[in-house]
Amino acid sequence: MNVPTEISFTPWNKGKLVGQKAPLRLRDIWDIRVRLQLAKKTRDLALFNLAIDSKLRGCDLVNLRV
């Protein structure tokens, strides 16, 4: 008679932080804006401002068409 052997299974998220991330603080937002301005990344700055102002998620922001 075959006795089932126990297979060790390790979840992919064991020991990792899961769930929602903490929201950006106001200082973090301004740091990102300043860095984008200094790097002359106008397009990225416009997308970042749109995302912050409209509270869109990244997947919704990518699907926008102008």
Give the model confidence (pLDDT) of 34-55 as tens digits. Answer: 999 999 999 899 989 988 988 8
55: left (phi over 0), alpha (psi -120 to 50) or beta: left
Over range 23-39, report the average pLDDT. Answer: 95
2: confidence class by pLDDT, cuts 50, 70, 90: low
DSSP 7: P
